[in-house]
Structures are given as structure tokens and as C-alpha cells.
């Protein structure tokens, strides 16, 4: 799986790109019946996606019947009175996408508004010239301009980092827990602990899996990166962006905006983020893996782990939700700040705060220090449970029992 996962990831991205491209190959046939005197039918030009068939001289019911008979995608009926637009409707057994519908609405409404202006002797060009269409410009106090998408880029980066960290903790935490349970149910544990101290075994196990996690992560990043570049070069498919949106983006954004977005990405504290990711990953992983090993030692099989999973899953979920709601809303708000210091949630919440910038180094250092100090505490407690749990068989363990073990 180590090497296959990034391959699958890239494969799926390519597959999606390819499927989208063949999906757009077949054009939909759409009938147009314009009863206003042919004013609007010329608006609808054939594209790769849509092919328009103009119906003439048919009654409404005849057009509906004909479209159904010919198995058209839909029928656009524009009704009017003496050349004036009265209403327009779209008949289809399918449910057309909101984009498609609003495109039709815009075209017809623009054209109708234009002819209304003309009828009332208003100069369309002048009106166009006088209409103000300025967009708000965003910049920080040092004068660096940012795009409106900047917030979203930060949310996406922080969210991805936090989410990735959570996934790694859960995946590798489960791995370490399963290996403890395996050794325990195998009884090989008795042979091993008659040779080494349980605490060494536990720390070694956690260290080993965390290194495996980091290696896996690096492999994903490197292989994924190489494959993405190879794929985009060889197949000419831009796997990163959704083809449906690419068109729209190109239309609505001029080059300066793209530059601003690139600038935003460049302004992200990427190095800081990567550095912190590793520190928080190691710290967060040690913290949670200690708990996972204690759980693994306390039970006889994997099904029994359910009752103890709450203290692991709850803070992780809490961190993700605090990240997505409080941090996104205000990265320097009280809740966001407090949760970025609490060791169980700090790895995720702080990672989500970092892309928003202006997190002082002392804040990060304090949060890391708290994390690493609490690791020692949690690891000591976990090792007490581990030491006793690995030699305890056939007894259903509960919280009270665990508390007793802590006091032995």
C-alpha cells in the first residue's frame, strides 16, 4: 500500500478527468420554439455540449409532443404577445443543472431588457458606460494585495493539513493498537517482556510506527507530486482543476486576478506549515498512540476497543470542528486560541490557524511545549496500563479497572 496509494490517487484523478471529458462529448439536443417573432432563437448557438433545433410554426402542444417524440433533452418555449416577452419555460424529463438554467435566464432577460431600453429611447451603450461595476480590493496593512479567494485558499490549506494530521493519527494509531492486541492475543508478549521492559517495547513500538507514518507521508507527497507532473505533461489533462469550472474562471477572471491568487499561494507560510506539520504530527501521534497502546493492552480483541475509543475520537472531532468553524470564522478568537494550546486538540487547531498568518512564534512554541510535556505525562499513565494490561487475559476491562491499574 505504501507505494500504491499515491498511484491510486493519481489514477482516480485521471479517471475523473477522462470521464468528464467523454461526458461532454455527446451533445444534448434541445428544441427551441420562439413565439415572440424569432427575436430570441438566434441567442442559442450550438456548442459541444448543446445542440439547438429551432422549431417553427408549431403550436405549444405540438412542439411538446414533437420534442418528446424525437427524444430531445428538452424544449425551450418562449411565449410572447406582439413581440413582447411574456414568459419562457423549459420542458424536460431530466432535471437540468442550475448553471444551465441560469444561463438561459440571463441570455433571455438581457436581450429583453435591452429591447425594453431601446423602446424607451434609452441609449444602451451610454447606460453600460455609466453603470459602476467596481470590485472590492483586499490588501493587508503592509500593502500586499490579496484576492477575494485568499480566505478560501487559507481555509483549504489549513483544513487539508489538519485533516491529514487527523487521518494519520487515526490510521497509525489503529495500527499500533492492533499490533498491541496481536501480541497480546498471540501471547508472544510474554516471551518478549521476559526479555525487555514493557516500557521500552511500548516506546519502541510508537516510535517505529510514527517513523513509518512519516515515511509513508513523504512517499505519498513525492510519488504523488512526480506522478501529477508526469500525468499533466503526458496526457495534457489538468487533473488539478475541474474542467467544468475552468471555462468559467477564464471568463470571469483576467490575468491580474490569477496573479493575485498565485501571489496568495506564494504568501502562505508553506515552510512554516510543513515544519509545524512534522513537529505536530510527531507530538500528536505520540500523544494519541500512547492512548491507543493503553487501549490495545486493556482489551482482549479489537471488538472490545469500542468502549474506550470515545476519548480518542472525541478530541479529534472536536479539534476538526473547532478548526472548521471557529478558526475559519476568526483565527485569533478566544476559542480558536485556547484549543490551539490544549494538547489533545492543538496539533490540528494550530495547523489550521497557521495559514492565516500572524501567529507569533512564541504562541507556536508554547503550544508545542505544552504538547510535548503532556506526552510525557500521558505516556507514563499509558505505560502503567500497558504494563498490566498486556498480561491480563479474559477479564472484561472497564474504566474503574483501568483506574485501579494506574494505582498499582
Q: Is 103 in the site for other proteins (CB under 8 A)?
A: no
Q: Is 301 in the site for other proteins (CB under 8 A)?
A: no
Q: Is 185 in the site for other proteins (CB under 8 A)?
A: yes
Closest distance to other proteins from the beta carbon of 403 (Å): 11
- Please pick, from the candidates 187, 332, 395, 396, the single residue that binds other proteins as defined by CB under 8 A: 187
Q: Report the residue number, 41 or 401, with the smaller CB distance to other proteins.
A: 401
- Please pick, from the candidates 142, 195, 233, 303, the single residue that binds other proteins as defined by CB under 8 A: 195
Edge-first strand listing for the sheet containing 28-34: 50-55, 28-34, 74-81, 84-91
> Which of 277, 281, 278 shows the shortest CA–CA distance to 289?
281
Q: Is 274 in the site for other proteins (CB under 8 A)?
A: no
Interacting span for other proteins (CB under 8 A) from 4-12, 30-38, 180-188, 205-213 = 180-188
Counting residues that bind other proteins (by CB under 8 A) gives 16
- Please pick, from the candidates 65, 122, 124, 192, the single residue that binds other proteins as defined by CB under 8 A: 192
- Please pick, from the candidates 194, 252, 303, 334, the single residue that binds other proteins as defined by CB under 8 A: 194
Q: Report the residue number, 49 or 395, with the smaller CB distance to other proteins.
A: 395
Q: Is 404 in the site for other proteins (CB under 8 A)?
A: yes
Q: Report the residue number, 191 or 230, with the smaller CB distance to other proteins.
A: 191
Q: Is 182 in the site for other proteins (CB under 8 A)?
A: yes
- Please pick, from the candidates 190, 247, 329, 358, the single residue that binds other proteins as defined by CB under 8 A: 190
State the Rg of the chain over Cα: 31
Interacting span for other proteins (CB under 8 A) from 17-25, 89-97, 182-190, 274-282 = 182-190
Q: Is 398 in the site for other proteins (CB under 8 A)?
A: no
Closest distance to other proteins from the beta carbon of 5 (Å): 20
Distance between CA atoms of residues 28 and 137, nearest Å:
40
CA distances from 2 to 10, 101, 103, 210 (A): 14, 45, 46, 14
Q: Is 258 in the site for other proteins (CB under 8 A)?
A: no
Closest distance to other proteins from the beta carbon of 238 (Å): 42
Q: Is 186 in the site for other proteins (CB under 8 A)?
A: yes
- Please pick, from the candidates 12, 62, 122, 188, the single residue that binds other proteins as defined by CB under 8 A: 188
Q: Is 171 in the site for other proteins (CB under 8 A)?
A: no
Q: Is the backbone of residue 394 left (phi > 0), alpha (psi -120 to 50) or beta?
A: left
CA distances from 152 to 149, 239, 277 (A): 5, 20, 20
Q: Report the residue number, 27 or 193, with the smaller CB distance to other proteins.
A: 193
Sign of dihedral through CA atoms 166, 167, 172, 175?
A: positive
In the structure grid, which three cell numbers stand for residue 173, read together? 494509531
Distance between CA atoms of residues 222 and 115, nearest Å:
58
Closest distance to other proteins from the beta carbon of 194 (Å): 4
Q: Report the residue number, 328 or 390, with the smaller CB distance to other proteins.
A: 390
Per-residue x/- track, 201-220, other proteins (CB under 8 A) = --------------------
Residue 17, number of CB atoms within 10 A of its CB: 20
Distance between CA atoms of residues 133 and 169, nearest Å:
48
β-strand partners of 54 = 32
Residues from 356 through 395 that contact other proteins (CB under 8 A): 391, 393
* Residues in CB range of 352: below 8 A, 6 or more apart: 158, 159, 161, 162, 323, 324, 327, 328, 331
Closest distance to other proteins from the beta carbon of 187 (Å): 4
Q: Is 196 in the site for other proteins (CB under 8 A)?
A: yes
Burial group, residue 102, by CB count within 10 angstroms (0-12, 13-18, 19+): exposed
For cell 471488538, name the residue. 303
Interacting span for other proteins (CB under 8 A) from 43-51, 163-171, 184-192, 323-331 = 184-192
| Cβ-contact 269, 360 below 8 angstroms | no
Distance between CA atoms of residues 223 and 264, nearest Å:
26
DSSP 220: H
Distance between CA atoms of residues 103 and 165, nearest Å:
41
Interacting span for other proteins (CB under 8 A) from 187-195, 268-276, 332-340, 346-354 = 187-195
Residues making contact with other proteins (CB under 8 A):
182, 185-188, 190-196, 391, 393, 404, 408
Amino acid at each position: 500500500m505504501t507505494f500504491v496509494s499515491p498511484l491510486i490517487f493519481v489514477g482516480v484523478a485521471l479517471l475523473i478527468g477522462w470521464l468528464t471529458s467523454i461526458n461532454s462529448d455527446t451533445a444534448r439536443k434541445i428544441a427551441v420554439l420562439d413565439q415572440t417573432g424569432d427575436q430570441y432563437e438566434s441567442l442559442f448557438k450550438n456548442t459541444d455540449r448543446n445542440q439547438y433545433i429551432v422549431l417553427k410554426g408549431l403550436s405549444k402542444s405540438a412542439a411538446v409532443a414533437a420534442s418528446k417524440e424525437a427524444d430531445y433533452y428538452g424544449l425551450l418555449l418562449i411565449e410572447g404577445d406582439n413581440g413582447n416577452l411574456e414568459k419562457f419555460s423549459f420542458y424536460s424529463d431530466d432535471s437540468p443543472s442550475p448553471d444551465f438554467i441560469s444561463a438561459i435566464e440571463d441570455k433571455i432577460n438581457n436581450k429583453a431588457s435591452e429591447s425594453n431600453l431601446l423602446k424607451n429611447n434609452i441609449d444602451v451603450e451610454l447606460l453600460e458606460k455609466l453603470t459602476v461595476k467596481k470590485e472590492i480590493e483586499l490588501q493587508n496593512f503592509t500593502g500586499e494585495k490579496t484576492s477575494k479567494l485568499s480566505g478560501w485558499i487559507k481555509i483549504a490549506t489549513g483544513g487539508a493539513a489538519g485533516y491529514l494530521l487527523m487521518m494519520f493519527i487515526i490510521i497509525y494509531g489503529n495500527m499500533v493498537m492492533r499490533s498491541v492486541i496481536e501480541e497480546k492475543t498471540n501471547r508472544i508478549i510474554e516471551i518478549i517482556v521476559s526479555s525487555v521492559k514493557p516500557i521500552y517495547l511500548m516506546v519502541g513500538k510508537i516510535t517505529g510506527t510514527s517513523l513509518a507514518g512519516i515515511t509513508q507521508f513523504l512517499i505519498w507527497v513525492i510519488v504523488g507530486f512526480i506522478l501529477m507532473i508526469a500525468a499533466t505533461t503526458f496526457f495534457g489533462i489538468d487533473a488539478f482543476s475541474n474542467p467544468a469550472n475552468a471555462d468559467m474562471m477564464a471568463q470571469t477572471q483576467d490575468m491580474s486576478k490569477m496573479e493575485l491568487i498565485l501571489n496568495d499561494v506564494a504568501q502562505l507560510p508553506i515552510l512554516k506549515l510543513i515544519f509545524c506539520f512534522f513537529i505536530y504530527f510527531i507530538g500528536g501521534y505520540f500523544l494519541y498512540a500512547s492512548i491507543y497502546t493503553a487501549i490495545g493492552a486493556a482489551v482482549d480483541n479489537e471488538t472490545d476497543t469500542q468502549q474506550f475509543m470515545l476519548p480518542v475520537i472525541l478530541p479529534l472531532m472536536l479539534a476538526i470542528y473547532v478548526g472548521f468553524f471557529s478558526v475559519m470564522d476568526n483565527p485569533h478568537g478566544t476559542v480558536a486560541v485556547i484549543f490551539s494550546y490544549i494538547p489533545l486538540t492543538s496539533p490540528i487547531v494550530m495547523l489550521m490557524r497557521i495559514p492565516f498568518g500572524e501567529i507569533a512564534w512564541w504562541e507556536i512554541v508554547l503550544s508545542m511545549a505544552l504538547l510535548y510535556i503532556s506526552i510525557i505525562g500521558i505516556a507514563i499513565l499509558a505505560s502503567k496500563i500497558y504494563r498490566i494490561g498486556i498480561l491480563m487475559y479474559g477479564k472484561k476491562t472497564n474504566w474503574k479497572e483501568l483506574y485501579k491499574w494506574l494505582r498499582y
